[in-house]
Amino acid sequence: MKNRTIVYLLITVLIIGLVAWWYVNSNAQKPAPKSVKENITSKNNVKFHYTGLKSFYPLSPDGNKQIVQHKAYTICYNEDEEQPWWAIYLLTKSMVVNQRAQRQNNFKPDPYVLTGSSVPEDYKHSGYDRGHMVPAADMAWDKDAMSESFYMSNMSPQLPELNRGIWKTLEEHVRDLAVKDDSIVVIVGPSKYGSKEIGTKNRIGVPKYYFKIIINLTSPEHEIFCYYIPNSGFESLDLEGYQISLGGLEVSTCMKFFGGLGESF
C-alpha cells in the first residue's frame, strides 16, 4: 500500500512539473522580428532587392487602374487604354554591368492584370511598335526580370521612328546614368490620348507623348531629370531639347510626382 502511494505521489509531481514547464515556455517572450522598412514580395514570393519604392508612386488621374507588381518593376495599368499609366523601377550600376539574360522577345499577355491586358496580336499590321516602358535591356541582370519585361502590360504603341530613335537614345542615357550615379529610380509612361486607336482584340489608345523621370538616389540633392517626348518622327537625337521641369511635366501629364515623399525630398 505504501509503495502504491509513493508511485501516485511521483506521478502527481511529474504531471505538475510538465504543466509548469509548458506554462513557462508557452508564455516566454519570443524574440522580436528584425526591423525592416517594408517587406515587399513579388507574386512568386521572391523578395525585392529594394524597399520603400512605393513612396515614389505617382498619383495618376482618376480612372480604371490597377497596381501590378512584378519582380523588378511595378506598373499602374490603365484598363481604358490597355497600357500603363506609369511604370517604375530601380536601376543600379550592378544591374547594368552584370547582364546575364539574353533578350527573349517573348511578348505575352500579363496574367496578373485582373481585367486582362492587351495581346501581341493587337499590334499586328498597326504601323506601331510594341514599345517597352521598362526597357528589356534594363532587366538583363536577371532571367525572370527580362522575361517579365515582355508582358504586354508593359507595352505602349510607339511609332518606329520614336522607339528606334530618340527613345532608344534616352534608354541608353538612363543606363549610363545608373553606371555613373550607382542607383537611380526611373518613372516612365505615356501621356495624352487623341482619337487614334489600334488593336484587333482590344482597343488600344495611341499616346501623343511619353514622359520619363530619372531620380539620382546617391546625390544629396536627389537630382531629377524629366523628359517629355512626342510620339512622332525625329531628325535630331538631342535629348536636351526634350527636357522639361518637374512642374511642367505634372501639368502636361495631369499627374502628381513624389507626393508620398513629403516636402523634405
Write the DSSP string, the chain.
-HHHHHHHHHHHHHHHHHHHHHHHHHTSPPPPPPP-S---B-TT-PBPS---GGGG--BPPSSSEEEEE-SS-EEEEETTTTEEEEEEEEEEHHHHH---PPP----B--TT-TT----GGGGTTSS-EEEESS-GGGGTT-HHHHHHTTBGGGEEEE-HHIIIIIHHHHHHHHHHHHHHHSEEEEEEEEEEEEEEEE-SSS-EEEEEEEEEEEEESSSTT--EEEEEEESS--S---GGGGB--HHHHHHHHT-B-SGGG-TT-
Same domain, 17 and 120: no
Residue 8, in any domain of the structure: yes
Total of domains in the chain: 2
Q: Which domain holds residue 92?
A: 53-261
Same domain, 145 and 81: yes
Q: Averaged over 212-217, what is the pLDDT?
A: 95
Task: Specify whether the CB–CB gap between 223 and 215 falls below 8 A.
Answer: yes
Considering the domain architecture, whether residues 16 and 61 belong to the same structural domain is answered as: no
Decide if 125 is inside a domain: yes
Same domain, residue pair 118 and 213: yes
Which of the four pLDDT bands, split at 50, 70 and 90, describes residue 64? confident
Q: Within a domain: residue 35?
A: no
Task: Please tell me whether residues 58 and 10 are part of one structural domain.
Answer: no
Mean pLDDT in residue range 87-113: 96
Within a domain: residue 48? no
63 and 150, same structural domain? Answer: yes
| CA 89/CA 188 separation, integer angstroms | 9
> Do 72 and 158 fall within a single domain?
yes
141/10 same-domain check: no
Residue 187 lies in a domain: yes
Beta-bridge partner residues of 202 = none
Q: Give the Cα separation of 119 and 202 in Å (integer).
A: 8
Q: CATH number for the domain including 180?
A: 3.40.570.10
Identify whether 92 is part of a domain.
Answer: yes
103 inside domain? yes
Does 11 share its domain with 87?
A: no
Supply the pLDDT for residue 66.
Answer: 94
Rounded to the nearest 5 degrees, what angle is found at the Cα of 104, between the Cα atoms of 101 and 107?
135
Q: Are residues 131 and 6 in the same domain?
A: no
Q: In this structure, is residue 81 part of a structural domain? A: yes
Q: Which three cell numbers stand for residue 210?
A: 511619353
Query: What are the Cα distances from residue 130, in Å, to 17, 67, 138?
Result: 71, 21, 16
User: Does one domain contain both 104 and 170?
Assistant: yes
Shared domain check, 71 and 6:
no
Residue 113, φ and ψ in degrees, nearest 5: -85, 115
Cα 179 to Cα 124: distance, rounded to the nearest angstrom:
36
Mean pLDDT of 99-121: 96
Predicted pLDDT at 258: 86
| pTM: predicted TM-score of the whole model, two decimal places | 0.80
Tell me: the pLDDT tens digits for 182-191?
Answer: 999 999 999 9
Lowest mean pLDDT among 26-30, 86-90, 93-97, 220-224: 26-30
- By C-alpha distance, which of 262, 260, 263 is closest to 55? 260
Span 29-47, mean pLDDT?
31
CA distance 80 to 139: 27
Q: What is the pLDDT of residue 80?
A: 95
Place of cell 508582358: 151
